Amino acid sequence: MKPTVISAEALFEEFRTALHWEWIAGHAHPERHFDDTAVRDARSAADLVGYLNYIHPNRVQIVGKREVAYLNAGSADITERRISRIVTLDPPVLICGDAQVPPDLDIHIIMDNYGTHKTPTVKRWFERHPEYHLHFTPTSGSWLNQVELWFAKIERDMIARGIFTSTADLRRKLMQYIRQHNKSCQPIQWANSNPKHRIRAS
């Protein structure tokens, strides 16, 4: 008996190693699944896959070199219309093959200043992939840990157990929390009271 429910996450996890897949976008909805009727009526896996298939909805859309070339052939408006046609067919998964990146999609990566990110091999790879943009944190930027602590505190104290009826409601309650916090906030101080655990310079 073939399955009638296939999620994007299950498909990704099953083939990520063999096909070297990377999940680029859509992390918010990993449970997104194939249309039950399409899966039930499919005579083979090929019935669930399309290469810029504008006719059949609910199919995995695969975009390779030829498809990207087609999407980019023409003005920006034409490219947008072609992509919109694919999106309106509600594909459960969009796969970019042949090391392609969807048109007009740049990938921004934030890294620290560690030397392994700047070796000749790494630099050459990014030179061959101009759609990737690197952003490095400031040297000696340990103060960024304080920013992470602040966001973690907001998430723990207010967001995790909160109920928000809209974006405006979330914004209002968030600002209310920040104003209340600022009334009694204190700098975060690190201390080590055990001399045996201190690192001494020789």
Q: How many other C-beta atoms are found inside a 10 Å radius of the C-beta of residue 106? A: 10
Q: Are 84 and 78 in contact (CB under 8 A)?
A: no
8-state DSSP, 137: P
pLDDT tens for each residue of 111-140: 777 777 778 888 888 888 777 888 877 776
Tokens matching residue 35: 């249309």
Distance between CA 156 and CA 7 in Å, rounded? Answer: 30
The DSSP call for residue 138 is P
Token pair for 5: 């429910």
Amino acid in position 73: A
Which pTM value belongs to this model? Answer: 0.41
For 70, phi then psi, to 5°, come to -65, -45
Per residue of the chain (202 residues), what is the pLDDT tens digit? 455 567 777 778 888 888 777 777 666 566 667 777 777 777 777 777 777 777 777 777 777 788 878 877 878 778 777 877 777 777 777 777 777 665 556 777 777 777 777 788 888 888 887 778 888 777 766 666 677 788 888 888 888 878 888 788 888 889 999 899 888 887 766 566 666 655 554 4
Distance in angstroms (rounded) separating the CA atoms of residues 144 and 181: 20
